[in-house]
Structure 1
Amino acid sequence: MSALSKSLQVSFEILNELYTAVGAGVLGMMVLLQHGFQSHQTIKTLCVVGVTTASLIYTFSREKQKLVANKKKVVIITGCDSGLGFSLAQHASKCGFTVIATFLSLDSKGSKEIKRLYGGYIIQIQLDITDSNSIQNAVQTLEHYFSKNPDYSFHALVNNAGVMVFGEFEWQTERLIKQQIEVNLLGTFKLTNAFCHLLRKHKGRLITVSSHCALANLPGLTVYGATKAALSSWNDGLRIEMAKYGVRIITFIPGSFTTESSIMSRQLQNVQEMHDNFTEEQHRFYSDYFKRYNIYLSFITSPPEPQKIQDENLYKTFEDTLLDENPDYVYKHEPLRYKIYHFFFKYSPLVLRDYLITKFMQMPDYKSDTPSDDDFEDINVETD
């Protein structure tokens, strides 16, 4: 009995060390080597480190098997009126997929531009993901399409549609908060739920666009970040639920392209709505700060016309979500600055983390000795 217990204990120690080495990578292996030399278990430790090193080399050096895009694979992308959706629809079509792009309005500039550029090569449908009837019409359209093309498959649903309001949480009206929750979160839930039976039938993949705000929520984007973090958490549970049906659940986190997107296109109207709903106390308290804050944001302009984002690395990452035969759970595209900041956001003590986030955002400072109420009256002129 004691021999069996000793064998089990040794096996557990080896498995635990393997887990430590794999989880911590090079740093973990260095710690194990030091421990092995100190405890005179050099041979066992070298074996563990050798197996771990070989596993890491195999994992990171092997090329993933790729699928081949073709017209019989159908990809649906929501929110194609502008920005990311407008860009991803075009790129997926160029890859060779049959693309069904959804638009909040078929009269939008983005819809008309894609029709001008691609004609019928990109199929366009109207879809409001907050409207159950609109969602049902989209489902019926797709069911009809597959009944006419039985050899086609539903390859991917890309949940991209979303809205963002920039402003401190206290400033945001109930309508603005509700809009972000209904579009970003509840709308995505409703749409996905309606398409689940088709995803199961075709063993497709669900790609949900999240945000770096889901990894570290940022001041001024607390509501938006909360909805994106909720989507990431939802994907974690949904991934396990749908795996047994052959459906792949993927989170796609794109990088910084705010100035090439129209996600801030209604920011001036949102600022005016926040200002108009301030109480007298809020007018007094925030006056100069609110004005300086939004003057600063006014420099983050949206393009006057829908335009395709110019970032090849973004498209390469998106292609991987569609074409990796065994896709990862999360795909991130980020500039080096984001990688550095988010590394420190994740591993720093909270006090340092909050300081780094403040430096990362570079928003105007709040000053308690704000000017009088009269100065605030200029906000309409400054932001319109």
Structure 2
Amino acid sequence: MSISIENKVALVTGANRGIGKSIVESFINHGAKKVYLAVRNIASTKDLEEKYGNKVVTVKADVSNTKSIQELANEVKDVDIVVNNAGVGIPYPTIGNDVEKDFAQQLEVNAFGLLRIANAFAETLEKNKGALVQLNSIASIKNFPQLSTYSASKAASYSLTQGLRAELKSKGVTVLSVHPGPIATDMGAAAGFDNGASTSIVSEGIVEALKAGDFHLFPDEMAKQFEGAYQGFSDNVVMADFSE
């Protein structure tokens, strides 16, 4: 289902920097009526508030806390588009003394965070015939050894995103799974990726993918290489209806 950003109310988690901040800017540039900036530190969005005035509203939210997300959903009932961008990307291999602790932390944010957002906002998005956008990664379909636990957590979130698409499609809710490669963000730099793609490639891609009614978005050059190799499996397995 096609969703235009124009005159829509959106909410973006992790909106204060990186890809999240770029999504806010792209949405407003494409005519969004209002964007909620969902962040843990409400002082971190002052520059966006100064730039966009009453087009943005900062709200406190922590995707690792169920109560926080439920309170957020009760507070903002007018949202048409929810973008779950907040995540953690800690470089950690499969073998390590604290690997269980690390993996649990990344699952808590990257996978359980999606579950919290989806369950809290499902009723509102169904009512408004809106869209849920999940920031996944190319690491959700390939494990990168130096990012092993992150890759596994994103694989879990991608699987959940597929489940959400199946459940919410019949209720008129569009679901978009976004799979960037290395992007020029603090997280990308910490993971050892230099010369990452611009955050605007992701944010502008989201606008276009929602308009096209797509489920997958592979926005940057490296991601598109993955898309080419993955397309057949996506068409014949991920997007196939095995209920018949």
Interval containing the TM-score (normalised by the shorter chain): 0.7 to 0.9
Q: 1:252 to 1:338 in 2, by over 3 A?
A: closer
SS of the counterpart of 2:111? helix
Distance 1:130 1:314, change over 3 A: closer
Instruction: State the Cα deviation string for residues 44-103 of structure 1 (Å, max 9, x = none).
Output: xxxxxxxxxxxxxxxxxxxxx9655433x1111111122110111111111111211211
Q: 1:115 to 1:223 in 2, by over 3 A?
A: same
Equivalents in 2 of 1:67, 1:301: separation in Å?
32
The secondary structure found in structure 2 opposite 1:256 is: coil
Measure how far apart 1:131 and its partner are: 1.3
- Give the equivalent residue in structure 1 for 2:22: 87
Q: Structure 1 residues 340 and 207 mapped into 2: Cα distance closer, same or farther (>3 Å)? A: closer
**What is the Cα deviation at residue 170 of structure 1?**
1.8
Are 1:253 and 2:179 matched, yes or no?
yes
Q: Which has the higher contact order (CA 8 A, sep 6+)?
A: 2
- Residue 113 of structure 2: which of 174, 184, 187 is its match? 187
Following superposition, the deviation at residue 331 of structure 1 comes to 1.4
Structure 1 residues without counterparts, runs of 5 or longer: 1-64, 147-153, 268-293, 303-308, 348-384
| Aligned-partner residue type, residue 193 of structure 1 | N
SS at match of 1:195: helix
**276, 295, 319: which is aligned to 2:207?**
319
For 1:171, the equivalent position in structure 2 comes to 96
TM-score of the superposition, structure 1-length normalised?
0.54
Say if 2:22 and 2:199, in contact at 8 Å, map to a contact too: no
In the alignment, structure 1 residue 96 sits paired with structure 2 residue 31: yes
Q: Secondary structure at the match of 2:186?
A: coil
Shift in Å at residue 338 of structure 1?
Answer: 4.8
Alpha-carbon spacing, 1:105–1:212, altered in 2? closer, same or farther (3 Å):
same
Count of residues in correspondence between the two structures: 230
Aligned-residue offset at 1:301: 10
Distance 1:189 1:338, change over 3 A: closer
Q: 2:82 aligns with which of 157, 163, 166?
A: 157
Residue pair 2:19, 2:203 contacting (<8 A) in 1 also: no
Do structure 1's residue 333 and structure 2's residue 219 form an aligned pair?
A: yes
- Letter in structure 2 aligned against 1:187: G
- How far apart are 1:254 and its partner, in Å? 2.3
Match of 1:236 among 162, 168, 174: 162
SS of the counterpart of 1:317? helix
Matched residues in 2 for 1:322 and 1:338: separation? 18
Which among 121, 124, 128 is matched to residue 198 of structure 1? 124
Q: CA deviation at 1:311?
A: 5.6
Give the secondary-structure state (helix, strand or coil) at the position aligned to 2:71: helix
343 and 70 in structure 1: CA distance in 2 versus 1, 3 angstrom threshold: closer
Unaligned runs of 5+ in 2: 233-244
Give the secondary structure class of the aligned counterpart of 1:77.
Answer: strand
In percent, how many aligned pairs have the same letter?
A: 26
Letter in 1 for 2:110: N
Match of 1:272 in 2: none
CA positional deviation for 1:242: 1.4
Shift of 1:244: 1.5
Alignment TM-score, normalising by the size of structure 2:
0.82
Find out whether 1:125 has 2:59 as its counterpart: yes
Map 1:276-287; keep pairs closer than 5 Å.
none
- Cα distance in 1 for residues equivalent to 2:26 and 2:227: 28
Q: 1:107 aligned to 39, 43, 47, which one?
A: 43
